[in-house]
Structure 1
């Protein structure tokens, strides 16, 4: 049989099966918010694909037409999209427990999460509570942050040297790439208590990038019945998972040998026993699973990299874009650094807390250039009313958080990058988690599923930004204006990565 004949036959069979499944076996949810009419069987799925723009960039137009809360039928997945700050606050804060779960994962995502054994993807319940509590205790406590300060100092010393070398050799620096390596170095050492060769760190970062791209939404996510036609993708996912295990399992074994027997033949283990994140996972009893096996340990450790590397480096790149384009803001930040620590003073976790303008610059970067336009998908734990509609348990509840940062009723001149608004303007007392007062920005989500690494991520951005501005003046490449065009690559990043020239202060 010719391939084209086989494809037509397979497509026809799938089409007929979906038609039968849709018309005779599936009860459509009632009283959902209105939304764009879809095609038979596939709903709005192909309409979105034909736009040739990422889904996140279509939402503003749909909001104008259908209001602050609307429904899209993406194949067999029903998406309820919520854009109103008031409705988001009601769902995530006032009715937090009702919207605290996660929808089913795709088969490819399940390969990497080992059946959703991860803080971000676990369904609301005992497993999630145990994993999150351990994560916060072992990484976010003031004691643990202080205990890991030497790691940041070590990584930043190397970071500053790499900046100087790259600027000398290339005539400029690639902000995103050089910051990625440093953030990855910090997180690997925090996780495994180890200093690794540069090649190993780059391997971890490379695998992490591939995992993020592999787990991005694909056609079988919305039409699971087509999964057999995408067996090559599943095969690639399993091969990538194997590479991920080969990259991280040796680290886990080395750390376990160090914790249990004191073995450290290559002297790579540098954190004392109990000071690395993975140490806390070795004896952790997880509801329904008992002690974690090596695959589950890899999932939980890699989750730290997936969540922490791209978001932090994306924010840093956007921050330096604004500093390069707005030299007066950069100088004002430098003056604050001089006032707090001086030209050659050491910038630490304690000193960045005193830098109000630095924190304002970071918050304004998060407002104007949020790493994500949506929170991670939520699911209702039970049928719940929201905005006059019934939200059933079998739909994806998607919170579009970009709209509130662009809303002129919430922000004066929302398109203008102005850090001062967080000192004496409409950003004063804005809470990034949404738990205090009205919602105006939510770069890390809100409620029970707020990003648990918020404090650590912001700390790394503050420290790196302050150190880099203290040491260098950042200017654009000669005869080259930075391009602020956005694209989506797990997070919202610059389509053309920022390359800047650094001048010693």
Structure 2
């Protein structure tokens, strides 16, 4: 009966909202008439039900709509007005040339708010003083060159474990599962960077699984588009709160142990391996939020801020390494050229001795990684942007608060920007290729955007590139990679926060 009452109340409210919405959109110079073109929607729900009934992933629908309506178009998804931007110059205009106008984030769903603690995260915070404070602290304390160099031993330790682990797995199973091993290694690096602690592999896997569940449960759901239906999804909200409790239970002990270590001014030991001040969480203990933005940061906020670092960095980096290795397995000539470059730079010494300075001297490695980003961008959309105020883009009106969705996949597939865009050709980033001089930050122009662009670009993109290059160089230097006989790799894509292989890559390794 409660659900029935809520449903009738929602219908009455939706009818009232529909009348208001229709009247407001007929105002001269305002409303939907000035938005970019788009498919005609149904009353109350806009295009939402049309999308659901197609039973296809959203990106395939977007590709069809782009072909019909052009580089910028509108969809009314329930109560969300979504402006989809797909063209290189328009993306550059929105994110770089007019960055402040589109630098905010839209309102979070109730489930997301459980995990972001009221949008207290670098990724989700609205454009303003809190976001600036959090981002500045992150950049200063975690990814400045001095800190990156100071923490190089963490990468050396984690990647030495990685090489041992894949060697043992190959001996036991006859092949290596690439994604699971890369995720575990990158996750161990980021946990140590965040908390200054080494933890057991079993505990590491548990934290990794919990954070993966968090990412999946915060994926878009029906109440995100029709918030009035939120009361009907009490079970999902209950599951989210239980998952949040598990997230807190697995990370709060690390935070408390680190705080005690910092307050006592101890020297590094077997568990707390980073000196005071070298862990990201150390900087958060005394961080003061801007006046009026929120109270003092506490354990809830610490868990959220560290979780976003671990989750975002783990998935994007591990996914990129897997896609790169897929093409090296399928094309032994590319793999052999990369191996020769690595040997020419570092010789036949132990792979564990390859340094971060070494990979900076490997242009073909850089080309392989960039071509992987182009051919397999981590996400086909950037995180949602929101218009800070009523503005324009491409000659169309964009109302304040509209969801501005940047569809980057078409940029990397566009034959006007790339020759043979469906082919994997690292040489395009070498001398004479159509990728030479490409700015992956999008500052000078947009031909690929693996990390976003403008004010909301991923602040740790240089760290992500370092982890990918270093891990790939070590794996190719130590082993030759082959497909499993009778089970060739399957390049089919699927979507789980990042764009991943539907069937994870398995490969045979032979010591060099």
**Residue-by-residue CA offset, 1:166-207 (whole Å, 9 max, x unaligned):** 111111111000111001100000100000011211111011
Aligned equivalents of 1:180, 1:153: Cα separation in 2: 16
Q: Does 1:18 align with 2:14?
A: yes
Aligned equivalents of 2:237, 2:96: Cα separation in 1: 37
Aligned equivalents of 1:171, 1:266: Cα separation in 2: 37
Q: Does 1:327 align with 2:325?
A: no
Q: Does 1:400 align with 2:407?
A: yes
Q: Does 1:428 align with 2:436?
A: yes
Q: Does 1:95 align with 2:98?
A: yes
Aligned equivalents of 2:160, 2:268: Cα separation in 1: 26
- How far off is 1:392 after superposition? 1.1
**Residue-by-residue CA offset, 1:139-169 (whole Å, 9 max, x unaligned):** 2111011011000000011101110111111
**Residue-by-residue CA offset, 1:69-111 (whole Å, 9 max, x unaligned):** 0000111111000001111111111101111000000000000
Contact 2:112 2:218 in 1 (8 A): yes
Contact 1:254 1:264 in 2 (8 A): no
Evaluate the alpha carbon distance shift between residue 389 and residue 324 of structure 1 in structure 2; reply closer, same or farther with a 3 A threshold.
same
- How far off is 1:486 after superposition? 0.6
Q: How does 1:82-481 map to 2 (within 5 A)?
A: 82-262=85-265, 267-287=270-290, 288-345=293-350, 346-424=353-431, 425-436=433-444, 438-481=445-488
Gaps of 5+ in 1: none
Paired residue for 2:77?
A: 74
Q: Does 1:60 align with 2:63?
A: yes
Quote the RMSD (CA, aligned, Å).
Answer: 1.5
Paired residue for 1:504?
A: 511
Aligned equivalents of 1:59, 1:208: Cα separation in 2: 29
Aligned equivalents of 1:485, 1:382: Cα separation in 2: 40
Give 3-state SS (helix, strand or coil) of 2:401's partner. coil
Give 3-state SS (helix, strand or coil) of 1:442's partner. coil
- How far off is 1:46 after superposition? 1.3
- How far off is 1:394 after superposition? 2.1
Aligned equivalents of 1:411, 1:231: Cα separation in 2: 48
Contact 1:282 1:291 in 2 (8 A): no
Evaluate the alpha carbon distance shift between residue 496 and residue 367 of structure 1 in structure 2; reply closer, same or farther with a 3 A threshold.
same
**Residue-by-residue CA offset, 1:203-235 (whole Å, 9 max, x unaligned):** 110111000001000000000000000000000
Give 3-state SS (helix, strand or coil) of 1:488's partner. strand
- How far off is 1:378 after superposition? 0.4
Aligned equivalents of 2:487, 2:184: Cα separation in 1: 25
Aligned equivalents of 1:430, 1:299: Cα separation in 2: 34
- How far off is 1:348 after superposition? 1.0
Give 3-state SS (helix, strand or coil) of 2:447's partner. coil
Aligned equivalents of 2:266, 2:117: Cα separation in 1: 29
- How far off is 1:266 after superposition? 8.0
Q: Does 1:494 align with 2:501?
A: yes
Aligned equivalents of 1:255, 1:286: Cα separation in 2: 21
**Residue-by-residue CA offset, 1:119-152 (whole Å, 9 max, x unaligned):** 0100011100010011111121110110110000
**Residue-by-residue CA offset, 1:399-418 (whole Å, 9 max, x unaligned):** 11111100111001101100
- How far off is 1:54 after superposition? 1.8
Gaps of 5+ in 2: 26-30
Aligned equivalents of 2:322, 2:61: Cα separation in 1: 24
Deviation larger for 41-50 or 229-238: 41-50
Evaluate the alpha carbon distance shift between residue 292 and residue 53 of structure 1 in structure 2; reply closer, same or farther with a 3 A threshold.
same
Evaluate the alpha carbon distance shift between residue 452 and residue 394 of structure 1 in structure 2; reply closer, same or farther with a 3 A threshold.
same
Give 3-state SS (helix, strand or coil) of 2:426's partner. coil
Report the TM-score, using the length of structure 1 for normalisation. Answer: 0.97
- How far off is 1:265 after superposition? 11
Aligned equivalents of 1:180, 1:259: Cα separation in 2: 29
Contact 1:187 1:305 in 2 (8 A): yes
